[in-house]
Amino acid sequence: MKPILALLAIVLALPASAAQLSIKLDHASKTWQTAELLNHPAAQTVQIVDDVSYKRNMIYRAVPLAVLLPGLKPDSHLQAVALDGFAAELAAAPLLETRGARAWLAVEDPATPWPALAEGKPSAGPFYLVWTDPQAGHISPEQWPFQVGEIKQLKTVAERFPALLPDPMLAANDPINRGFALFQKNCMACHRLNGAGDAQVGPDLNIPYSPTEYFGEDFLKRYIRDPQSLRHWPQAKMPAFAAAVLPDSELDALVGYFKHMAGRKQQP
């Protein structure tokens, strides 16, 4: 028994295991190991003020995400897939910026792991998309995916999921089309609509009912602003969308999209 106990002691003393991140672009693919990213020539120590996930200032070893996306064009579309099924839809242009709001891939060092997100929860690692100066780019909480395992280039949401599209007869500048864009940015990481989407976290927002069919408009807006002000439970995951992230005019457009789509239900 002694050799087994000794081996167990060694295993328990080891730091958390390293991880790997797969980045799949149309023109190139690469799998990065934790050590490669921690020692990347572009890696820096960055301070994140009021981190979205940890709700406090954090310091990370991170690589500018643009460096890991060589040759990607600004009009491209990406998806960051987390270990729990969270699938963040990301326009490439903000990720490639080198000024203002800047995207970084924070890398968890197994030797010095990050704190747990909450009691009984894992950390935000092994890889976490964070932003410096996010206010400059109007960055949404859904653009901070954590526990990322894969980043891949895809066709646009409209091309992949036509069941999400508003009436094509609407003018391009109609607020409902603006609401559709906001749905992609703020909601699709967790929710599907008409069964369309890749998320596996939250409920469908149109099937069998749209939230506009069982919430009064004022209460729906209050729910989006601060979910736990209306429904409080320990395992709640939906973040609050403050006016600094989702201004009133955008919130109106988003709710307008939900109302519109309630009349365009499609069964999965």
DSSP 70-109: TT--TT-EEEEEETTS-EEEEEHHHHH--SSSEEEEEE--
Residue 115: band (very low, low, confident or very high) from pLDDT cuts 50, 70, 90: very high
Which of 3.40.50.300, 1.10.8.60, 3.40.50.720, 3.90.420.10 would CATH assign to domain 17-154? 3.90.420.10
Indicate yes or no: pTM above 0.85. no
- Give one DSSP letter per residue of 29-64, joined into a string: EEEEEHHHHHT-TT-EEEEETT-TTTSS-EEEEEEE
Pick the CATH number of 158-262 from 3.40.50.800, 3.40.50.1820, 2.60.40.420, 2.30.110.10: 2.60.40.420
Amino acid identity at 82: A
Give me the phi and psi of 236, to 5 degrees please.
Answer: -60, 135
pLDDT at 16: 54
**Res 11 pLDDT > 50:** no
Name which of 133, 128, 68 is nearest 99 in CA terms.
Answer: 133
Q: Does an H or E element contain 28, and which?
A: none
**Facing residues of 60 across strands?**
46
pLDDT digits (tens, 9 = 90+) for 195-216: 999 888 889 999 999 999 999 9
Reading the block at residue 86, the tokens are: 């969270």
- Amino acid 138: pLDDT: 85
Three-state SS for 29?
strand
